[in-house]
Structure 1
Amino acid sequence: MEEPKPLPQLPATRAGKVAAVALMVFLFAGLACNLRFAATAESLLPHAVTRAGLLDGTVSKELASRMADTPIAADAARVQRALGWLTLGDLGPRVREGCPGWLFLRDELNVYADGERHLAARAATVAAVQRELAQQGIALLVAVVPDKSRIEPQHLCSLYRPASLDVRLGDWSARLAAAQVPVVTLDAALRSVPGDAFFRTDTHWTQDGAGAAAQAVAQRIRAMDVPLGSSQPGYRVENRPAARRPGDLVRLAGLEALPPSWQPTPEVVTSRAYVHEAQAAASADDLFGDADLPNIAVVGTSYSTTSDFVPQLALALGTGVGNFAHEGAKFGGSAKAYFASAAYAQTPPKLIVWELDERDLQSPVEADDAVVVPQGHVKNATK
């Protein structure tokens, strides 16, 4: 049998040589960046490397996650995201485009396995928190921020919102009402806004949307007959000129580094600045103004820290409102942190407004969702 002859070796072309050199430069640059990251990082591997972790892939997953933080990996990811958007209109795994210029968070459109069970568990947590607070003389009001895709369906175009999500707000409100927990859903208030209640390229409501929500919450608080106290709102309102407002959905899609003209159409908005003004002591004996502290505390998500929701709520009520919400907090994050804080232990309020996102109600339960009210050390002073 005749031995096979080797294939003819074609001479390397100039383009092939350039590609080979470029590939080598890229690989060596990646190696250098990875070595530098490994030398400067506190630790690449998890603190506890176990045999079980090696076998089930936990260690390799953690290593891959940490290596993804290297500069070259981050830069490559940004380039990939930019090329995906510019060539295919792709916004990545967490952002979806509805009508031209309107972006939505994919989390709002997810249908979770066991979603009803997760919602029921969270409702039970809220009911337990309300009972514990009532024993300490503190009222609770739950305010639910509806999905942007629920309030702005006319801007979804071909983007599909599952019909099974339509009953989510009603189910949540019914469960809390059955547990005698005061709740206000803000869908009606947001739909009454003359313009847009949400920004086009952001997950959050506009300043007018936040104002409508603040008015609805203030109306519900007055109906609860909670003592508001004597503190002043403490805000001065100033008009701001129209300016470009970058949206958090553009950042989540990884496109914020692109020139503005290459990004999804930016929004130009006219807004108001709510400038906080320190309050003077109520008397000579009250050097730190403790006697004039707010009777109302807000815990919640970034909706309570953006668009000036809390300042507008304070002005609608005519009294001070303490803001203990956190960016990035989900269902129980800021509530859990607030109940563990010195602010709650030393100066408890008369009312807590717990602001929640609709999209978090049916998502899988997390560790921060286990909110517990501390017992035995709260100084529920009369204000």
Structure 2
Amino acid sequence: MPTNKRSFPVAMMFLLGVSLPGAIGLSTTESPRLDSGVLSGSYQRIYESEFTQNMPLRNWAGATYRALTFALFNEAGPEIVIGDSDWLFTIEEFGNPAEEVAFASLVTAVRNELDSHGITLIPVVLPDKTRIYADRLPRPRSVAIETRYADVLNTLRALGFQAADLSDALAIEQAGGDTFMRTDTHWSPLGARLAAEAIADEAGIAGTGFVQFETTYDTETTFNGDLLPFVETGLWSDWVGVDRETLSRPVTVTNSSDSDLFGDQEIGIALVGTSFSARSEFNFAGYLQEATGLDLINLAVEGRGPFAPMQEALENGAINQIAPRFVIWEIPERYIHTRNLP
């Protein structure tokens, strides 16, 4: 729904802001010769190219247009969906991934490889933000996507895994706060902590280690969500746009006074996954340490999805060299194609 930062008079000003540079661009664009290929369509392409080059304040006009569509229609670019109270969602969660992976076969192959080295695999599927905050969406998702998470859990359980249902842990009704960031694709520190605790409990590894960890929080600072650039309104942001969030960055450390504690300490967990695990401001790795009492090494990688980091860690021998007791494999739901599930 529109916020108090949007109004019809402001929107009309934006209309002028878009049309005026366009009119100037038209007046300064020379039409190409008609023998340039009218019938083939090259005439239009040449004219559009010259118009784009001649249009003044192109960046300003672009921001103005985004502000206009945001103010009037509560819409942005094709990459995101704007929900109630300016909650932003990636369009990736409304459909299947472009790349298909034989999910059950892949998980089974990884487990078999780790089993051969005495390592236990704990696959963890993260529910979509759109699933947890479905009440904020402007439109429903397809039935196949809505049932995907349950199908994934059923697949893992059929393979013999415990498969923690994180949709329960991240449910905002019981969390007492936001479990995902409003302007970002990722969970909040609260969501990461609740997920870590649920995973440790479900896998039976809660408090099994002997290392004491403690999490403290830095001063609250502005957080720029990764979905904000898609609704950037430039100089109009004081009137129309999405407000920034704040975040208190968590930091988990051992409170042991033994400086040599980790000199020969067994690595209990190797964490493999995506930016949900890799980005320090959400502290998923730290919360896992705190929940389990086990030392952890983080092999998660940003920007490569959940499958490539696991493949690389196995092929380069990183996991075998670390020789952890457990490998926690974090897999966001949106990377799994419904066609590969029963």
What TM-score do you get using the length of structure 2 for normalisation?
0.72
| Structure 2 residue 72 is matched with structure 1 residue 93 | no
The separation in 1 between residues aligned to 2:65 and 2:289, in whole angstroms, is: 44
Return the letter of the residue paired with 1:167.
Answer: T
The separation in 2 between residues aligned to 1:125 and 1:77, in whole angstroms, is: 47
What TM-score do you get using the length of structure 1 for normalisation?
0.65
The separation in 1 between residues aligned to 2:169 and 2:69, in whole angstroms, is: 37
Larger RCO, structure (CA 8 Å, separation 6 or more)? 2
The separation in 1 between residues aligned to 2:316 and 2:263, in whole angstroms, is: 17
Kindly provide the CA deviation profile for residues 215-263 of structure 1, in whole angstroms up to 9, marking residues without a partner as x. Answer: 101112326x9x9555x36x65333333321111113x16286675354
Q: Pick one of 134, 140, 144 that aligns with 2:125.
A: 144
Residue 305 of structure 2 is matched in structure 1 by 330
The separation in 2 between residues aligned to 1:295 and 1:135, in whole angstroms, is: 17
Shift of 1:23: 5.4
Shift of 1:339: 1.7
Q: Give the secondary structure class of the aligned counterpart of 1:291.
A: coil
Residue 106 of structure 1 is matched in structure 2 by 91
Partners of 1:229 and 1:294 within 8 A in 2: no
Q: Pick one of 230, 255, 271 that aligns with 2:232.
A: 255
Partners of 2:124 and 2:163 within 8 A in 1: yes
The separation in 1 between residues aligned to 2:176 and 2:311, in whole angstroms, is: 36
Taking the TM superposition and a 5 Å limit, the aligned residue runs for 1:263-282 are 263-269=241-247, 271-274=248-251, 276=253, 280-282=259-261
Shift of 1:343: 3.3
Q: Pick one of 215, 226, 237 that aligns with 1:237.
A: 215
Shift of 1:175: 1.7
Q: Give the secondary structure class of the aligned counterpart of 2:181.
A: coil
Residue 292 of structure 1 is matched in structure 2 by 265
Q: Decide which moves more: 257-266 or 325-334.
A: 257-266
Return the letter of the residue paired with 2:223.
Answer: R
| Structure 2 residue 204 is matched with structure 1 residue 222 | yes
The separation in 2 between residues aligned to 1:291 and 1:175, in whole angstroms, is: 38
Partners of 1:84 and 1:91 within 8 A in 2: no
Partners of 1:141 and 1:184 within 8 A in 2: no
Q: Pick one of 141, 147, 160 that aligns with 2:140.
A: 160
Return the letter of the residue paired with 1:132.
Answer: E
Partners of 1:250 and 1:256 within 8 A in 2: no
Kindly provide the CA deviation profile for residues 52-103 of structure 1, in whole angstroms up to 9, marking residues without a partner as x. Answer: xxxxxxxxxxxxxxxxxxxx9xxx9965652332111242121110113111
Residue 42 of structure 2 is matched in structure 1 by none
Shift of 1:128: 1.5
Residue 199 of structure 1 is matched in structure 2 by 181
The separation in 1 between residues aligned to 2:277 and 2:89, in whole angstroms, is: 19
Q: Which 5+ residue runs of structure 2 have no aligned equivalent?
A: 1-20, 31-52
Q: Give the secondary structure class of the aligned counterpart of 1:337.
A: helix
Q: Give the secondary structure class of the aligned counterpart of 2:153.
A: helix
Shift of 1:290: 4.6
Equivalent residue pairs, number: 285
Q: Give the secondary structure class of the aligned counterpart of 2:135.
A: helix
Cα separation, partners in 2 of 1:194 and 1:345, compared to 1, 3 Å: same
Kindly provide the CA deviation profile for residues 326-345 of structure 1, in whole angstroms up to 9, marking residues without a partner as x. Answer: 11131302212222345323
Shift of 1:363: 7.7
Taking the TM superposition and a 5 Å limit, the aligned residue runs for 1:1-383 are 81-89=62-70, 90-111=75-96, 118=100, 121-156=102-137, 158-191=138-171, 192-222=174-204, 230=210, 232=211, 237-251=215-229, 253=230, 255=232, 261=238, 262-269=240-247, 271-274=248-251, 276=253, 280-282=259-261, 289-306=262-279, 307-341=282-316, 343-362=318-337
Partners of 1:102 and 1:155 within 8 A in 2: yes
Return the letter of the residue paired with 1:129.
Answer: V
Partners of 1:144 and 1:356 within 8 A in 2: yes
The separation in 2 between residues aligned to 1:195 and 1:155, in whole angstroms, is: 15
Identical-pair percentage = 28
The separation in 2 between residues aligned to 1:88 and 1:340, in whole angstroms, is: 48
The separation in 2 between residues aligned to 1:333 and 1:77, in whole angstroms, is: 39
Q: Which 5+ residue runs of structure 1 have no aligned equivalent?
A: 1-14, 25-71, 283-288, 366-383
Cα separation, partners in 2 of 1:305 and 1:19, compared to 1, 3 Å: closer
Structure label with greater radius of gyration:
1
Q: Give the secondary structure class of the aligned counterpart of 2:85.
A: coil
